[in-house]
Every structure is written in structure tokens, then in C-alpha cells.
Amino acid sequence: MRPVAVIGIGKTAFGAFADRDLRSLAVEANQRAFEDAHISPNLIEAFYLGNFAGPSFVGQNHLAPYIAAASGLAGIPATRFEAACASSGAAFFHAVSGVASGLYDIVLATGVEKMTSQTTPKVAEILAGAGDLSGEVKAGATFPALFAMIARRHMYQYGTTREQMAAVAVKNHSNGAKNPAAHMRKVITLEQALKGKPVSDPLTVYDCSLVSDGASAVILAPLERATEFTAKPVRVLGIAQTSDYVALDEKDDITTFRSLREAAAKAYRMAGVQASDIEFAEVHDCFTIAEILALEDLGFVAKGEGGPFTLAGHTCIKGKLPVNASGGLKSKGHPVGATGVGQIYDVVQQIRGEAGERQLERHRLGLAQNLGGSGATSVVSILEAA
């Protein structure tokens, strides 16, 4: 396996765009990545698309060649990956594998979702399809309800508080307010977060990620060729994708995601680093409790310490371990199919020193964590300045 580098990145703003369709969003992100890598589309040898529910959200199937052709990529292998909210994390994993194996040299991985064309109840119904339809969904559970159960159990076992979960939202909104491409650039207080409209107890509207439209793209090449395209290549030092049961009731302990722990262990081993070496992270805060679990399952803190660690300010931009300097899914937005590659975009931007107001002091070694469903899919990627 040969070393792989990111040579180009592109992303649309995340938000609600009534005048944009799914294909135009993906094409824009791709074009931005081509420009960033200083290449023309004819150099791309394979296209990997992450998209969770295009057929349900907008009615379009056969999405990979549909988007590839519109991006000037007709004729190459074009494949769509579906892994719930980890769809483009999975696309990125397989794109890295394709380059690392020597099968391809220049590969494009893109994530896209157009969610706001549907009503909120319909969006909830579509997203619920990433759960167990024969069990938990049939019983009426949506993902806010499932993560509310996770939160309640974590509170019971470890003493996690609503204030600690609200601190995740306050911090991510503060970061997102500095991100010109974020969906919700709105600073909130701890009191506001605690008094938000109830969604599924103990979660309020401020504990839940946004329904968003958007797209993101990255271009990969062998590390040995990276400087042909960019003066700031970013190496994919370690990466892993794992899976687990879809249904929450089939897990031994719902306060931890086994797939995430295993993906992290594999990625650390591949990268030759430990959790303590990571300087910053973009984690999957689909709900505030998910960021707390990620801190613990990634090994940044011991089990039960994710909440106190956050409330103490250690995950802020100036903290010991900055987490979600982009604003995270909570503020940046969560167009589910675009999220995984979007996280890679944000990590690469930090490593290059191009994050503007959100630029971190320590930004050589970063981690991205993408979650599908209630932990049925996990992708962990570790990147460093080449």
C-alpha cells in the first residue's frame, strides 16, 4: 500500500437553497476541488460519491454517473456509496483504498445531499430509514428519540448533565459564527441552549443538528506525486471503516459505539499515533451527546469524562483539544451525504493554515470522525501535513 495525499478540496456553503438542485451542488464542489488542485477533470480516473437518500429526497437514482457526467467525468468508473450519515466518509475510505492499492492515481471523492426540498416530518421519516425498520422504527422511534435514549442512559451511568450537553452546542455555535460557509452563524448562550424548544427529552432543538443542503469534494493522489499539484499536500496517515448492529437494542451498551472504538483503534494503529498525539478533531455531532461519546470512544478522555471536559472549555478553539472548529454539524450544517467529506475538507483547511478566524495554533495532525445511524457505520481518518 502506497502513501496517499489530499491534493485538492472544494465545498459549497451549507444551508437551505430553494433555487439549487442536488446535481448543481455536487458540480460546484467538484469544480472548486479541480481549481484547488490545479487540474482538469480529464485527469480524474475514478469517482466515488457519498449520498444517503437522493432517491427519497429528490427522486433521482443512478446518481454517481448523473453527477460525474455533469462534472466532465463521463467515461470513468462512477460509484455511489450509501452508509447513512457516513456515506461520504465511506466514499472517502474507498477512494483512499483505490489510490493506496495502485489501482488509480487521481481520484475524486464527493458527498452531496439536498434535504430541504421535503417537509420536516418527511425528512425525519427518510432519515429513520437508517435505523431498523422492522423494530425501532416500527415502534415509532426517530433518531432524535434514539439519541435521547442514549443521552438518558449516559446521564444515568456517568452523571452527564444537560449543561454539559448544552456546552457542546454553545461552543459549536460560537465556532460556526466564524465560518462563512456555515448554515447557522448564530452565537447562543448556555441559558438559550437549555431553554430551547423540546424535541425528545432531554434533547432540545439546540441539541440537534440542522437539515441542510450542500456538497463537498476532495481529490486524492499518491503522496509521491502530490507536489505536482499543490504546494500544501496533506497526507492521509491512517483511515478505517467499521460496522455494527443497526438497531440500538442489539447493542451491549448504548453509551458507547463499538464501531467507533474499533475504527479509531485501527486508524491509530495504521497512522502510528495515539489519541494523545491528535492536535484537533472534527467529530460527528449529529446530537450534542454524540460529540461527548466521540470524545470518549476516540480515547481523548476516559468514559464518562466527555461532558465535564467539554464544560471546562477544553474543546474550544483555544482549549487543550479543539473539536469542531468548523462549527460541527450543529452549526455548520448536516447535509448528511456531504458531511464525511466535508469534515475532511475542514481538517485539510486547518492543516494548510487556511481557516481564517477559526485557525488553530496547533494544526499539524488532525482527525475526522464520521458516524452512520446510531453507530452502525464509523469512519475515522487521520491526516497530517505532508
Measured in whole angstroms, the distance separating CA 373 from the mean position of its chain's CA atoms is 12
Q: Point out the catalytic residue in the list 38, 85, 94, 173.
A: 85
Report yes or no: 202 and 162 within 8 Å, Cβ to Cβ: yes
Report yes or no: 373 and 84 within 8 Å, Cβ to Cβ: yes
| Residue found under cell 442536488 | 22
| Maximum alpha-carbon separation in the chain | 56
How far apart, in Å, are the Cα atoms of 109 and each of 48, 201, 209?
Answer: 5, 37, 23
**CA atoms lying within 13 Å on the CB side of residue 206:** 25
From the list 7, 11, 1, 2, the residue with the least C-alpha distance to 282 is: 11
Is 334 part of the annotated catalytic residue set?
yes
Q: Report d(CA 68, CA 34) in Å as an integer.
A: 13
How far apart, in Å, are the Cα atoms of 279 and each of 159, 206, 241, 362?
Answer: 27, 27, 21, 6
Measured in whole angstroms, the distance separating CA 385 from the mean position of its chain's CA atoms is 20
Q: Point out the catalytic residue in the list 183, 284, 334, 363.
A: 334
DSSP string, 25-42: HHHHHHHHHHHHHT--GG
Q: Which residues are catalytic?
A: 85, 334
